[in-house]
Chain A
Amino acid sequence: MSTPTDRPPLPGDFVAFVKRDCPTCLLVEPVLAELAAARVLTVFSQDDPDFPSGPDTRDDTSLEQSWQHEIEAVPTLLRTDGAGREEARAIGWHRGEWEALTGMTGLGADLPDQRMACGSLSVSPDLAPELAFRFGHRGPELASRVIELGAREDAIETLFERGWSDGLPMVPPTERRVRAMLEGTSRAADEIVASVPPDLAPCSVEKVAINAVMAGCRPEYLPVVLAAVEAACTDEFNIHGLLATTMPVAPVIVVNGPIRKSLGMNSGINALGQGNRANSTIGRALQLVIRNVGGGRPGGIDRATHGSPAKLSFCFAELEEGSPFTPLAQERGVPEGRSAVTLFPGEAPRNVIDQLSRDPESLAASLAVCLRTIHHPKLVLGFDVLLVIGPEHGRVFAEAGWSRGDLIERLHALLQIPGSELVRGAGGIAEGMPETIAQLTLPKFRPDGILVVHSGGGAGLFSTIIGGWLTGAEGSRPVTREIGT
């Protein structure tokens, strides 16, 4: 914020800021004429340099003076100290205030005593970011290479041609947009967030911001993207392996905590689908960081056989309100009231229909038979799962008093599978577990391998299964990280 000493000098004794499109400014036009006759008055007009007629009126349609002097409403009358600095200001029309400020009496004798001010154009939400960029303190220089386009070059096409796009159009990362994006975090632009695989390239907050701009994020999403990048680039989550594998998997981002609401994220109808800007662009920004900073591209290090639409973006919020379960992030150690991302290495979602189970045992058994099929019904212990319980299924567990722990425990119990069903050749299928386990009973999932969240619309007796990728030390494990500022 600027202080009166670092603003540009004000001319004369009094300075008024007005716009024609303000009824109160129109009302005080004769008062400004009275003032101009008696004092040295300069008027800055925000929208019409010919208004008001009479006083020394200057064109401020660029809004530079209005922005520099932090005019929030019009009319605003400033008194100077005669040396160009502001001494006092009156906002709107209030005869007593104007008289006190000017030392004159009987101002605007025909006018009502007071009238409300109108908003200054310089604080209009549409214009303020551009004005801040043009006239404000820009902060430290940005480090990224500047690429100047030719006069006839189309910015959107350029983003495709340079290989920066995931296949969809992107927002051109101009300096103004990147600086506005950086306003979304308290972290310094040059702070290194992570080494991004596969190139293990050091990635600054600035590089994340550039990719977040391209993804279509708003600045307030940036802390979520930063947390997601940090979580993805841990050895535990192993984004390198997740990217390089032939399997169709991607980082799935689950958002918990108050930030879901402040960003307007979707945890309800179509939570895992399209249509919500935060959901869609936060996941996309993470993928663009991996593509552009990490250098991970399909056909290069990304060797997915089929891939998945989830590799464009896969981010949603948990429906904590009315959930039978404690939020996922709290379950994983984040204090209540804080926001966090949980990254799960997952494939595309698939639906489980159960419209008839009204008791938790039946519904758990329904879910279990579907969970067994993840990747292959005869393969066990290799993959985790993220189970998204829909609200109508959640209600069945809630009414029976089942906690998340109760559900997970029951699912594990239901998913103990005789080795004889799993071994290679069983059921006439060559795929399966080695013959050595034929006499054992094996669980489908490792003990921590079932994650449960509550999301979705209020109608539909459905849940959704998101299968995992290779788990354990060689694969990926889910990672939860608190969202900073």
Chain B
Amino acid sequence: MSENLRLLDPTAERQSAQREPLPRPKTLEGLRVGLLDISKPRGDLFLDRLEAKLGECGATVRRYQKPTFTKPAPLDLRRQIAEECGAVVEALAD
């Protein structure tokens, strides 16, 4: 067997290495930022502080909540956030 070994890719071949992140917002002034609470306890405390800080920077805030932290955000919620906001912050911790 002189041929090189050929393996089949076991992954979903998402090619994430080639996916560029979206450009970051240049300023918070006038930006609408979504704050997504994943329904973990005390995520709201973190997001309340963040809302205040973002307000000081001139951003407006819209709050969202996942039904449960144990499952991915429903597609409709993701679409709603994408339509309504220019950026999103997710609170992931207890």
A residues adjacent to B (C-beta < 8 A) = 142, 144-151, 153, 155, 158-159, 164, 172-175, 178, 196-203, 206-207, 210-211, 214, 235, 238, 240-241, 244-245, 288, 292-295, 470, 473-475
Contacts and interface: CB of A to CB of B under 8 A. Distances in A.
Interface string B2-21: 00111111111110000000
A295 B10 CA distance: 11
Contact of A175 (B4, B8, B13): B8
Interface of B: 4-14, 68, 70-72
A292 B10 contact: yes
Contacts of B9: 144-147, 210
13 contacts: A147-B8, A149-B5, A151-B4, A153-B5, A155-B7, A172-B5, A174-B5, A175-B6, A207-B12, A292-B12, A293-B11, A295-B14, A474-B68
Given A240-B72, A475-B70, A211 B4 contact: no
Contacts of A146: 6-9
Contact of A178 (B5, B8, B70): B8
B10 A150 contact: no
Contacts of B7: 146-149, 155, 158-159, 172-174
A196 to B, nearest CB: 8
B77 to A, nearest CB: 14
Given A144-B8, A198-B72, A210-B8, 6 more contacts: A144-B9, A145-B8, A199-B12, A210-B10, A238-B71, A294-B12
A174 B9 CA distance: 10
Contacts of B4: 148-151, 153
Nearest to A241: B70
A240 B6 contact: no
A203 B12 contact: yes
Most buried by A among B5, B13, B68: B5
A148 to B, nearest CB: 5
A437 B35 CA distance: 34
Contacts of B71: 235, 238, 240-241, 474
A211 B12 CA distance: 11
A203 B11 CA distance: 9
B8 A173 contact: yes
A144 B10 CA distance: 8
A158 to B, nearest CB: 7
Contacts of B13: 144-145
A37 to B, nearest CB: 42
A150 B11 CA distance: 20
Contact of A148 (B6, B68, B70): B6
B4 to A, nearest CB: 5
A383 to B, nearest CB: 14
A164 B6 contact: no
Contact of A173 (B10, B12, B14, B68): B10
A199 B5 contact: no
A172 B7 CA distance: 7
A240 B70 contact: yes
A178 B72 CA distance: 32
Given A145-B13, A295-B14, A174 B70 contact: no
Contacts of A203: 12
Contacts of A473: 68
A244 B10 contact: no
Contacts of A210: 8-10
Contacts of A202: 12
Most buried by A among B13, B14, B71: B71
B8 A174 contact: yes
A155 B10 contact: no
Nearest to A201: B12
Contacts of A294: 12
A173 to B, nearest CB: 5
A145 B6 CA distance: 10
Contacts of B70: 238, 240-241, 244-245, 470, 474-475
Nearest to A170: B10
B6 A147 contact: yes
Contacts of A244: 70
A240 B38 CA distance: 14
A133 B6 CA distance: 15
Contacts of A207: 10, 12
Nearest to B94: A246
Contacts of A159: 7
A144 B13 CA distance: 8
Most buried by A among B5, B10, B11: B10
Most buried by A among B6, B8, B72: B8
B13 to A, nearest CB: 5
